[in-house]
A = this chain, B = another copy of it.
């Protein structure tokens, strides 16, 4: 792996572990065993690193929330979507935890973030529309956008919510699965008689994951 990439992944790891505010560029360099000068050879400044991490995050969202096409709807397909959400929340959890702080210091990044969120909203609502058409969900036309927004809001703040509501600040996979289960609960409310069983099975799937020992460690 190239040093540039090592810096990105090490930063991501340290940010996730300790919070972006507590990790200095010197920490990152020391953790990698390189000089601060070298870090600044690869990145103009700390913001530059964060933006590169954001690009990674953006790529993931881009590929994970494509409306499905030409394939029959299946439980695996739904699992894909929820897994993509989980991956985003877990792999970039520092962003969810410190978002307003980070964005308030980087106007440029904020614009990128807003654009990305707009896209996510569009994509997600398209998926819901498709699921509606395919008889998996039954949502009134004018409730699709608000519902998408609500779900996005829950995803956005679940980590912050969890961090505030437990003594231990560390984020576990279990707590993220709990967040997914909340989303599922909401979605299930719009399920059709045909799809209800599918949602029940989805719930069981993620409840199992939430309870698994590795998910409970940090």
Where the two chains meet, the residues of A that have a C-beta atom closer than 8 Å to any C-beta of B are: 19, 21, 97-101, 103-104, 107, 110-111, 113-114, 117, 146, 153-154, 156-157, 160-161, 163-167, 169, 185
Report yes or no: B111 in contact with A160, Cβ–Cβ below 8 A: no
| Chain B residues, Cβ within 8 Å of A169 | 104
Can you list 9 contacts pairing A with B, beta carbon distance less than 8 Å?
A103-B163, A110-B167, A111-B167, A114-B165, A117-B165, A146-B185, A153-B161, A156-B164, A157-B157
Main secondary structure of the interface of A (DSSP, over half): helix
The answer to whether A98 touches B101, judged by C-beta atoms less than 8 angstroms apart, is yes
Q: A104 near B163 (CB under 8 angstroms)?
A: yes
Residues of B within 8 A of A156 (CB): 157, 161, 164
One complex includes copies of this chain to the number of: 4
Q: Which residues of B contact A97 (CB under 8 A)?
A: 100
B161 contacts A104, C-beta separation under 8 Å: no
Q: Please, which residues of chain B bring their CB within 8 A of the CB of A153?
A: 154, 157, 161
Q: Are A101 and B157 in contact (CB under 8 A)?
A: no
Q: Could you say which residues of chain B place their CB within 8 Å of the CB of A111?
A: 167
Which of B117, B146, B160, B165 contacts A160 (CB under 8 A)?
A: B160
Contacts of A110 in B (CB 8 A): 167
Question: A189 to nearest B CB, angstroms?
Answer: 11
A39 and B107 alpha carbons, distance in the complex (Å): 33
The residues of B that contact A163 with a CB separation of less than 8 Å are 100, 103-104
Write the chain B residue with the least CB distance to A153. B161
Does B21 contact A100, Cβ atoms closer than 8 Å? no
Chain B residues with Cβ under 8 A from A104's Cβ?
A: 19, 163, 169
A114–B166 CA distance with the chains assembled, in angstroms: 7
Q: What separation, in Å, do the CA atoms of A113 and B164 have in the docked complex?
A: 9
